[in-house]
């Protein structure tokens, strides 16, 4: 009795369309070498996918960390500009106020 199992693979970088490809494995009775080779191939694929998953998680973590740093930097720059604006406004108010009473 033959059974076919479809094992989906993630999008391969060598495919320009970015679509996932699928391989069909048909186990046969009385072929232990074939099933052992298939098992070894599946383990290698699993290990490769786990490594790629780890790489993607690390890239995402770095991107989130960089975005958080940029947000903090922009917030600090905005507060700094606001503080400078308030200081300049106060100084101008003092200068204009003091010239009014002088004359």
The per-residue pLDDT for 1 is 47
Partners of 25 in the β-ladder: 5
Degrees (nearest 5) of the Cα angle 26, 31, 32? 105
Calpha distance 61→51 (Å, rounded): 15
The per-residue pLDDT for 20 is 54
The per-residue pLDDT for 73 is 97
Positions of the chain with pLDDT lower than 70, given as ranges: 1-32, 101-103
The per-residue pLDDT for 26 is 55
- Tokens 């191939």 locate to 41
The per-residue pLDDT for 29 is 57
The per-residue pLDDT for 22 is 52
Q: What pTM value is reported for the model?
A: 0.48
């Amino acid at each position: 009795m033959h059974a076919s199992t479809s094992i989906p693979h993630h999008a391969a970088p060598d495919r320009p369309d970015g679509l996932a490809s699928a391989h069909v494995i048909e186990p046969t009775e009385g072929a232990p070498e074939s099933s052992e080779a298939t098992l070894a191939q599946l383990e290698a694929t699993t290990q490769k996918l786990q490594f790629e998953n780890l790489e993607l998680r690390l890239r995402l973590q770095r991107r989130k960390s960089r975005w958080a740093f940029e947000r903090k930097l922009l917030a600090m720059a905005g507060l700094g500009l606001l503080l400078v604006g308030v200081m300049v406004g106060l100084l101008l108010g003092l200068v204009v106020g003091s010239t009014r009473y002088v004359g």
